[in-house]
Homo-oligomer: A and B are copies of this chain.
């Protein structure tokens, strides 16, 4: 049995240190590199070509986790990416899976769960924390209310307090398109104003 090589990506040194300590107890898993930003993560993937990338989604300014996942998957489909984050936001789950994540773990996961996820990932198995899985399950029952990846992305930026114009500039689309997306988002969230959408998104979706 060969050793599984892992790249850790998290902007908090404490979390990287903790993961490293936990994974270090497993003889068949080895942390070969760490990164604290999306940019660093891409470089580390090139340099170390790890089997599994364990990544937080929230990573301060610059490239966010979703974008990093997408780029990693674009360049090299060998790496399996595991999301390891604090919040089980509906929108983030959808976007992460869409970007090519193999699993989605919450930070309060038990060590065994994490080990199992890493081992499963290299075999192409997808592993979810129970709360995450239940959210996905619930969404399958109401497929009409599931945000598309683009809508989720827009909603995420919406919670930053941006105007339609700013949203358009940020996403390289026209203001008209922004308004179309927003109308769909409002309908799916069951709200009528952007203010209510933001409130709903932050509270219900766990966005922040």
Residue numbers of A with Cβ under 8 A of B are 11-22, 60, 86, 107-108, 110-111, 158-163, 191, 193-200, 202-203, 208
Contact = CB atoms under 8 A, between A and B. Distances in A.
Scoring A17, A60, A202 by chain B CB atoms within 10 A of each residue's CB, the highest score goes to A17
A110 to B, nearest CB: 7
15 contacts: A12-B18, A12-B108, A13-B110, A14-B19, A17-B18, A18-B20, A60-B108, A161-B191, A161-B195, A161-B196, A162-B196, A163-B193, A198-B199, A202-B202, A203-B208
Nearest to A58: B86
Nearest to A16: B18
Contacts of A195: 158, 161-163, 194-195, 198
A178 B159 CA distance: 22
A161 B108 contact: no
B159 A199 contact: yes
A200 B110 CA distance: 33
A195 B160 CA distance: 8
A16 to B, nearest CB: 7
B199 A12 contact: no
Contacts of A197: 161
A158 B162 CA distance: 17
A164 to B, nearest CB: 10
Contacts of A16: 18
Contacts of A12: 18, 86, 107-108
A22 B107 CA distance: 18
